Amino acid sequence: MLKTLIKKQLSELMSATLSSFNAKARKTGKKTSVGMIVLIAILFAYVIGVFSFMLIGSSLTICVPLVENGYAWFYFALPFGLNFVLSVFLGIFSSQSHLFNAKDNDLLLSMPIRPRDILASRIIVMMLPDYLMGLWIGGVFGGVYVSFYGIDPIRVLIFCLLVLAVPLLAVSIYSLVGWAVSAITARIKRKQLVTTAISIAFLVLYFWLYTRFMDAMTSLEENADMSAVFDSLASFANKIAAYLPPLKWIGSAVADRSAVNTLLSLVVMVVPFVVVLGLISRSFIGIVTDRRGAKKSRYHAGRSLKAATSGKALYMRELLRTVNCSTYLMNAGIGTLMMIIFAIIITQTDTGEMMTFLAQEMPGIERIFPLCAALLICLISSTVMFTASSVSLEGKQLWIIRSLPIEAEKILLAKVALHMTFAVPASLIASGILCLVARPNAFELIPYFLLPLVFNLFAALFGLIINLRFPKLNWTNEVQPVKQGLASFLGMFVPGVAAFVVGGGALLLTASYVIVGDKPWITAAAMIVLTLLFALVCLILYKVLKKWGVRRFDAL
Amino acid sequence: MLKIEHLTKKYGEKAAVDDLTLHIAPGELCAFIGHNGAGKTTTLKACCGLLQPDAGEIYVDGVSLKDAPIECKRRLAYIPDNPDLYEYMTGIKYLNFICDVFGVSKDTRETEIHRYTDMFSLTDDLAQPISAYSHGMKQKLAVISALIHKPKLIMLDEPFVGLDPVAAHTLKSLMREHCEAGGAIFFSTHVLEVAEKLCDRIAIIKAGKLVVSGSMEEVKGDTSLEQVFLELEEEKDA
């Protein structure tokens, strides 16, 4: 039974990504375009290649110094720690929806299937990305170690065992959070808003802990008067050994080929998994079938109704959907929070001091800071992806909007407006905060604020067009279109690359002019040119949306 | 009110609806009957602009659906067989949204919403999110949303499924009332008794082709509608 359920979950996962390749193919039953699959495969390979390159570079730099100086355990602990942190971060916002809010709960529970099997199948599929990430990061770190020190079968065995075990701990943590959120919100009236609030609280706590941790590390380095890469890493490792002994056990299990540490590590990772699985299994039926909720609201017939234009009604529809779906709000809107959080981190940590230091060492360099700050906001803005799944989220309710007398263009523009509602304030706040360190002058001020705004519009329009091209309307859980859809990936990836490549190029060019040419106006000019460039792209995308997008929406 | 001319809709190689021609006059209540997969839903969806036909023309109140889809949609209402509504809205917000889209005035919407929700005993539940509604309650809400903007043509796909006997009776009364006021209704059903008692016209579809269309008396003659339908099905099997 578990095997059948896993196959069902996997087919949903695959269809979330692949079936949206070609809407026409879905209707006609023809196979997906090979060219499109190749293109997407190249894109995925590119992303993996870039990150692999960065991982290989880092592990090559630190492997020998750490191993030769008695910190081999730390070298091996790093990939496991990284895998754990990334898995928790990526899983935390969708675990509740994935585990408890699937639309086929009633159907599955009406069949002779144990709730434990339903839950286990969802957890296993939810862990797949964690395992892929673990294999990838572990493979890079392990490969680099082997290239220097050769293969040791026992070490490889322990390493593989731990690669398999680490996601168990990560899934325990985020499943527990999902379970806790479900339990807390079971009797609350505004479930989705409370879920969102808890998720945001968790995110803020996460970043607060991160900044505290980094501050602690910095003060440790300053006290010890260390500056070399190795010394920093060594002090970091000592701190971890003192405060996070399980990570030391995991690293030592591989480094020392220690049976005791291997056993301890496995206990730390497997026991929470078994406990959490048991806990959730026992309350699974109660959570997914609890329809009682909060006290029933009674409608008072005398209440006055507010009339609105169709455009405003469409916008309010988008807004209601967003605030009532925490999976969508948190996954598509996380970038808005990140913009502000990163801006605060930059002004509160060493980055601000570093910029002051750079300005003292290289007079004139401070003139590119406004461009750097604007581009950083653009880069983070690419993770705001409301429009990239907004068409898919219409799902089986698409008939409503399609049967109403509304132009498709109005419907699509309401989606863009929703995206901008969240992106614009976040962008302005982040730009405002970064003013403290970027210090734009009077000429730079307007393009400094305008560039991220125009970029957000570009990301919104691009996301919408890509979702129209790759819609995923037949889903059983919001996580599928929001997180697993091809449109979400491309909607984030392409604007990110655009910000990185176009912005990076402009930054290098501007920096060289500022330093060599002593032209202080060049930053304002660069920001104006970039703003105009993205505005032109927006205009083109808007034209595409008006013609092709409208036709496409009408044919969905 | 509804003029379907040589409508053809294909899925791949298979014609779900094949050269279907049907006219429904103002004041007519027409039942659309056929076995599962005969093409009823496809025809209804094509008539309200949810599906683009491969061939043929559809006119709503004399307006071409192909040339002026928005104008046509202003004149019609559609309810699918399984009304998936916006579960993140409350019942009242959903109805208010529909009124906003159709430009129903504030006073009219307040009167009409309360009139219909009282008829379907749904008033007390309007503040509840639709996600908390039963299938029958969703069906009632969908029916109300189709009626509040006073469309000329209403198209319903299996409208009685999930409704309790009182609600089904209310709906039948409202359907008659709508047609007596000069509107038209085109609905699919498998409940032949309802079609026989309620409708002026009958259209029977088989494997995408319209096999019979006419007034109730013309179609059934001295026999029952069930008898006519079964005979047609046997002809197909033979």
Contact residues on chain A for B106, CB-CB shorter than 8 A: 304-307
Residues forming beta bridges with residue B129, ordered by sequence position? B90
Question: Is B151 touching A (CB cutoff 8 A)?
Answer: no
How far apart are the C-alpha atoms of B230 and B223, rounded to whole Å?
11
How far apart are the C-alpha atoms of B66 and B72, rounded to whole Å?
9
| A453-473 core/surface letters (b: 16 or more CB in 10 A; e: else) | bbbbbbbbbbbbbbbbbbbbb
Question: Shortest CB distance from A406 goes to which of B89, B96, B101?
Answer: B101
The rounded Cα B181 to chain-centroid distance in angstroms is 17
Q: Which two tokens stand for residue A1?
A: 């039974």
Q: Which residue has the higher pLDDT, B81 or A286?
A: B81
How far apart are the C-alpha atoms of B23 and A337, rounded to whole Å?
57
Nearest CA in chain B to A312: B100
Q: What is the pLDDT of residue A538?
A: 95
In B63-82, the residues whose Cβ lies within 8 Å of chain A are 69-71, 73-74, 77-78, 80
Q: What is the DSSP string of A233-269?
A: HHHHHHHHHHH-HHHHHHHHHHHTT-HHHHHHHHHHH
C-alpha closest to that of A405 among B129, B104, B195: B104
How far apart are the C-alpha atoms of A435 and A476, rounded to whole Å?
44
Question: For tokens 């002051």, what's the residue?
Answer: A356
Contact residues on chain A for B12, CB-CB shorter than 8 A: 27-30
Please, what sign has the CA dihedral across residues A93, A211, A338, A534? negative
How far apart are the C-alpha atoms of A395 and A388, rounded to whole Å?
14
Please, which contacts does B60-69 make with residues 24 or more away whose CB atoms are closer than 8 Å? B60/B1, B60/B2, B60/B152, B60/B153, B61/B1, B61/B152, B61/B153, B62/B3, B69/A554
Give A539's contacts (C-beta < 8 A, 6+ positions apart).
none
Strand B209-215 to B201-206 pairing: antiparallel
Give A552's contacts (C-beta < 8 A, 6+ positions apart).
A468, A469
Q: Are B106 and A305 an interchain contact pair (Cβ–Cβ within 8 Å)?
A: yes
ipTM of the complex model = 0.88
pTM of model > 0.90? no
Q: Are A299 and B106 an interchain contact pair (Cβ–Cβ within 8 Å)?
A: no
- Count of all residues that appear for chain A in the document: 556
Tell me the three state secondary structure of residue B214.
strand
Which region, left, alpha or beta, applies to residue A40 given φ > 0 means left and ψ of -120 to 50 means alpha? alpha
> Closest Cα of chain A to B112: distance in Å?
12
> Closest Cα of chain B to A410: distance in Å?
11
Per-residue pLDDT of chain A (556 residues; tens, 9 = 90+): 777 888 877 777 776 666 555 555 555 444 556 676 777 777 777 777 777 887 888 788 888 888 888 888 888 888 888 888 888 877 877 777 777 877 777 778 778 788 888 888 888 888 888 898 888 888 889 999 999 888 888 989 999 999 899 999 988 888 888 888 777 776 666 666 777 777 677 767 766 666 665 565 455 444 444 445 566 667 777 777 777 888 888 989 988 888 999 999 999 999 999 998 888 888 888 777 765 555 667 777 667 788 889 999 999 999 999 988 888 888 888 889 889 988 888 887 666 666 666 667 666 667 788 888 898 999 999 999 999 999 999 989 999 999 999 999 999 999 999 999 999 999 999 999 988 888 888 888 899 999 999 999 999 999 999 999 988 888 877 888 888 778 888 888 889 888 888 878 777 777 777 666 666 677 888 889 889 999 999 999 999 999 999 999 988 8
By the 10 Å C-beta count (0-12 exposed, 13-18 middle, 19+ buried), A443 is classed as: middle
How far apart are the C-alpha atoms of A379 and A35, rounded to whole Å?
29
Q: Are A399 and B84 an interchain contact pair (Cβ–Cβ within 8 Å)?
A: yes
Question: Shortest CB distance from A29 goes to which of B12, B71, B114?
Answer: B12
To 5 degrees, how large is the angle CA A330–CA A333–CA A334?
Answer: 70
Q: What is the pLDDT of residue B221?
A: 77
C-alpha closest to that of A502 among A336, A374, A367: A374
Contact residues on chain B for A291, CB-CB shorter than 8 A: 132
Q: From the candidates B67, B88, B104, which should be mutated to test the interface with A, based on the most A CB atoms within 10 A?
A: B88
Calculate mean pLDDT across residues B114-136: 90
In B103-132, the residues whose Cβ lies within 8 Å of chain A are 103-106, 109-110, 113-114, 123-128, 132
- Residue B158's φ and ψ, nearest 5 degrees, are 50, 60
Question: Shortest CB distance from B100 goes to which of A29, A308, A321?
Answer: A308
Question: Shortest CB distance from A555 goes to which of B12, B52, B106?
Answer: B52
Tell me the three state secondary structure of residue B11.
strand
| A408-423 core/surface letters (b: 16 or more CB in 10 A; e: else) | bebbbbbbbbbbbbbb
How far apart are the C-alpha atoms of A365 and A553, rounded to whole Å?
48
Contact residues on chain A for B93, CB-CB shorter than 8 A: 320
Query: What stretches of A186-325 show up as alpha helix (H) in DSSP?
Result: 191-224, 229-243, 245-255, 259-289, 310-323
> Closest Cα of chain B to A506: distance in Å?
44
Q: From the candidates B86, B94, B109, B186, which should be mutated to test the interface with A, based on the most A CB atoms within 10 A?
A: B86
Question: For tokens 């807004």, what's the residue?
Answer: A319
Write out the residues of chain A at the interface with chain B, using a CB-CB cutoff of 8 A: 27-30, 192, 291, 293, 296-301, 304-310, 312-314, 316-317, 320-321, 324-325, 395-397, 399-400, 402-407, 554-555
Nearest CA in chain B to A394: B86
Q: Which two tokens stand for residue B221?
A: 């003659």
Q: Are A307 and B126 an interchain contact pair (Cβ–Cβ within 8 Å)?
A: no
The Cα-based distances of A128 to A85, A131, A133, A163 in angstroms read 15, 5, 9, 12
Nearest CA in chain A to B105: A307
To 5 degrees, how large is the angle CA B58–CA B64–CA B70?
Answer: 110
